[in-house]
């Protein structure tokens, strides 16, 4: 009986991981041997070269080792962030944001909205409560795109 419960529990865990991996999280990462150097207020950090996120997101992954692949930020939330960033860029052109810069932000935000950059958002839902890590993840992806 105990063995049967253990097998069922393991099967459930494997199914959860498989379900989470169906998000196509690593479309472009076959071997992440190449890195680039990023810098934030805490110093220099190596970030996978094939990812648009930067030091803040990488540091968040290091500091918040909680949850697993099945607890990644829901994709609709990531896409909603894209809508938010696009709207902010459009409105801020009325307040002096350079149109060329706003257009670049809107173009990258459209890719976030369309799901073309889903695999550049590795963070889980468990954060500090304010969502700063996810907000910075979106900012880094859009600005590095």
Alpha-carbon gap, residue 115 to 125, rounded angstroms? 18
Distances (CA, A) of 124 to 68, 77, 78, 134, 137: 7, 12, 11, 9, 11
Distances (CA, A) of 136 to 15, 23, 31, 52, 59: 30, 21, 25, 12, 11
pLDDT of amino acid 33: 64
Query: In the block, which residue shows the tokens 């889903």?
Result: 118
CB 82 within 8 A of CB 112: yes
pLDDT string in tens for the chain (145-residue length): 444 443 444 444 333 333 333 333 334 444 546 999 999 999 999 999 999 999 999 999 998 888 888 899 999 999 999 999 999 999 999 999 999 999 999 999 999 999 999 999 999 988 877 889 999 999 999 999 9
Q: What is the pTM of this model?
A: 0.74
Q: Looking at 89-133, which runs of residues are DSSP E strands?
A: none
Q: Determine the distance from the C-alpha atom of residue 64 to the mean position of all C-alpha atoms in its chain, rounded to a whole number.
A: 14
**HSE-CB for 62 with a 13 A CA cutoff:** 10
pLDDT of amino acid 94: 97
pLDDT of amino acid 21: 36
pLDDT of amino acid 106: 99
pLDDT of amino acid 128: 78
Q: Which domains does the chain have, with CATH numbers?
A: 2-144 (1.10.275.10)
The tokens describing 79, both together, are 């896409």
């Amino acid at each position: 009986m105990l063995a049967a419960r253990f097998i069922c529990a393991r099967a459930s865990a494997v199914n959860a991981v498989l379900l989470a991996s169906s998000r196509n999280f690593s479309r472009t990462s076959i071997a992440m041997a190449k890195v680039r150097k990023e810098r934030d207020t805490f110093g220099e950090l190596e970030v996978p070269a094939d990812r648009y996120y930067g030091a803040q997101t990488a540091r968040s992954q290091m500091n918040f080792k909680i949850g697993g692949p099945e607890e990644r930020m829901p994709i609709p939330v990531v896409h909603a962030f894209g809508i938010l960033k696009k709207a902010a860029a459009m409105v801020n052109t009325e307040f002096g944001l350079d149109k060329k810069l706003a257009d670049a932000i809107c173009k990258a935000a459209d890719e976030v909205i369309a799901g073309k950059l889903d695999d550049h958002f590795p963070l889980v839902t468990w954060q500090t409560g304010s969502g700063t890590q996810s907000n910075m993840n979106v900012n880094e992806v859009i600005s590095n795109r």
